[in-house]
Amino acid sequence: MLAFWKILFAILLLLGLWGTIFLPFPGILFMFAAVVVFSVLIFHFPMWALVTLALLTLISIVIDNLFGFAGMKWSGVSKRTALFGLVALFIGTLFFPPFGGIVCLFMTVLALEITSEARENRELSSFGSAATAALSVFAAKLTNIVVGGVFVMICLFLLIS
């Protein structure tokens, strides 16, 4: 029976990692919830492991939010453009994973900034704004994939030992 729970736990971890890579899904938070539930009910993981995984989850959440908003702030886009960019990021990732969100974000920010009348040299500054926003989201996604991989490796080590 323990083998069944280990397999189910591994499937949930891989589902969370898949969500982190391909969907706008809080995969690492999902994986941490699975760790806590399985630790309390079945596996009784050591406290150092739970604290380490909690820190990785917190790092993931901070990076995800910080990179996205900081990239848009540094690029100087308007609040309206940032809002539409985030909607485009979500829709693009949902319908064209894994990089559709970044492409949709870039195209939306570029189009809205070019049509904005508040900037001089609109085309060049708009391209820079769109590129900065897209690169910051890409960096956050890449960082979360690495954090998710480390998370899964720690959990699999706990299962094996």
Higher pLDDT, 46 or 103: 46
Torsion angle, alpha carbons of 93, 58, 34, 46, to 10: 150
pLDDT digits (tens, 9 = 90+) for 6-50: 888 888 888 888 888 776 677 888 888 888 888 888 878 889 988
Higher pLDDT, 76 or 151: 151
Of the pLDDT bands very low, low, confident and very high (cuts 50, 70, 90), residue 51 is very high
pLDDT at 116 exceeding the cut of 60: yes
Token pair 């990021």 is at which residue?
A: 89
Distance of alpha carbon 102 from the chain centroid: 12
Torsion angle, alpha carbons of 105, 111, 113, 116, to 10: -140
Q: What is the mean pLDDT of residues 137-142?
A: 78
Q: Which range has the top average pLDDT, 7-11, 63-67, 108-112, 126-130?
A: 7-11
Q: 133 near 109, Cβ under 8 Å?
A: yes
What is the per-residue pLDDT for 121?
54
